[in-house]
Amino acid sequence: MGLCYTYLISLYSLLLKCAALWHPKAKALVRGRSETCTILLKIAKSEHKRYWFHCASLGEYDMALPLMQACLEANPDLEIVVSFYSPSGMMHYHKRGFVPAAVFYLPADTPSKMQRLIKAVEPDRLYLLKYEFWPNLLNEAQKAKVPIYSVATMLRPSQVYFKWYGGFFRVALQRLDYFGVQNEQTKQLLLQIGVKQERIERLGDLRFNRVLAAKADAQANPILEKFVGTSRLLILGSSWPQEEKIFFEFIRRNKEFLVANRLKVLIAPHDISASHILKMLVLFPGANRFSDPNLNLQSTHILILDTIGHLSAAYQYASVAFVGGGFSGSLHNILEPLAYGVPVLFGPKHHKFPEAQQFIDLGFAHEVTNHQQLKVRLEESLSHLETIQKAIAAAVLKLKVKIPDQLVR
């Protein structure tokens, strides 16, 4: 099975190179992988500890940041290197304010490439975020006696490890020294395939640490402060066309409701291209762009956030947030508004995001599929907003992960 897997990985790499001729992301990945060797040659041998974090993409990198910080606090001379699989992680990690000693793309998971990679990096530890389990990487790391830690592990019964034909991949999981799982389901799945109890710990979701730290560091936004004033703010964050259509219908049909509840609206579309922002201004007459140098905040009740990097901190001004991506199955970050105690709404396709169901069960999040439901949920939240906000903030604080010493020293 191992030979077959390696053959398929090699075939995939070949197809990826073909796709790179016309697909931008494939092109970025192929080019990035070709530069990995050059980057690794620049990594000098070090007398200090070196921890290697592998993250699939930017979301996993966000999960890893609190652990990286804890590792650095425990080991001041520590070097941290990071690898990504996805171009989105490689393109945007620098926006998080932390600069690792080296950052590179993970090569194709073949034995020879992973052997060379581990020899070049010489890590004292390897951390894998969520479910990044590459069999040849795990095998070569174990051969090199590198301790392997899976952090914020999240697994589902539908994954290959738990199928009758998944024996090869189950063996790969046995090579890990530690699993810091997010939930009880993941723990039970690992136990069912023979992972020993002492190697599993109920860690939780490190993203709570991340959003609470971001909240503590958030800067005031004078434009939004002036825009909100004494009103309440409804934010549509990271929106896609389906959520924007719901908001269009809601605003068109409920002007009196908005006035009666002193509600202003901030819309932060996922797509901030000039063409889409123009469509938004047509869809929402009277709206203004956040970046407009001649912005008149006195004359508008709808603001379009057409810049990158302001949404997370904008949630500090929100009364209720509708987070986008829930109609496509790619729900955006609901923890950012929750960190501020803001009740959240989202579309129906959220089953891959356990935090969504977690806060639905707590009564602090709700599924919305049309403008009528949006109004109902807004009425419910606004009727006892202060009580809800205090309860949400307390719940999020309880979910902050206490990082154990064995993970950092």
In a domain, 8, yes or no: no
Same domain, 325 and 189: no
| Domain-ending residue, one of 154, 171, 204 | 204
Residue 213 to residue 367: CA distance in whole angstroms: 27
| Domain-ending residue, one of 204, 239, 258 | 204
Same domain, 98 and 227: no
In a domain, 263, yes or no: yes
Q: In which band, very low, low, confident or very high, does the pLDDT at 46 lie, cut at 50, 70 and 90?
A: confident
CA dist 37 to 2, 102, 119, 323, Å?
A: 25, 12, 12, 40
In a domain, 12, yes or no: no
Same domain, 152 and 253: no
| Domain-ending residue, one of 145, 178, 204 | 204
pLDDT at position 299, please?
Answer: 83
69: part of which helix (H) or strand (E)?
helix 58-74
Query: pLDDT digits over 321-354, tens only?
Result: 999 999 999 999 999 999 999 999 999 999 989 8
In a domain, 304, yes or no: yes
Same domain, 154 and 235: no
Same domain, 284 and 257: yes
pLDDT at position 125, please?
Answer: 97
In a domain, 92, yes or no: yes
Q: Decide: 176 and 138 in contact? Cβ < 8 Å.
A: yes
pLDDT above 80: residue 37: no
Task: Specify the DSSP class assigned to residue 330.
Answer: -
Same domain, 153 and 41: yes
Q: Can you give the residue range of the structural domain that contains 141? A: 31-204
Same domain, 289 and 376: yes
pLDDT at position 48, please?
Answer: 86
Q: In which band, very low, low, confident or very high, does the pLDDT at 205 lie, cut at 50, 70 and 90?
A: very high
Residue 48 to residue 121: CA distance in whole angstroms: 13
Spatial neighbors of 297 by CB under 8 A, at least 6 apart, are 223, 226, 227, 288, 303
Mean pLDDT of 357-373: 96
In a domain, 103, yes or no: yes
Same domain, 297 and 344: yes
pLDDT at position 39, please?
Answer: 81
Query: pLDDT digits over 52-79, tens only?
Result: 999 999 989 999 999 999 999 999 999 9
In a domain, 345, yes or no: yes
Same domain, 72 and 98: yes
pTM: 0.88
- Give me the residues paired with residue 324 across strands: none
Q: Decide: 206 and 66 in contact? Cβ < 8 Å.
A: yes
Same domain, 182 and 317: no
- Give me the residues paired with residue 126 across strands: 52, 148
Q: In which band, very low, low, confident or very high, does the pLDDT at 133 lie, cut at 50, 70 and 90?
A: very high
- Mean of pLDDT over the chain: 94
In a domain, 167, yes or no: yes
Q: Which two tokens stand for residue 185?
A: 């389901």
Same domain, 254 and 366: yes
85: domain CATH number is 3.40.50.11720
Count of domains observed in the chain: 2
381: domain CATH number is 3.40.50.2000
Same domain, 241 and 350: yes
Torsion of CA 265, 271, 277, 279, to 10 degrees: -100
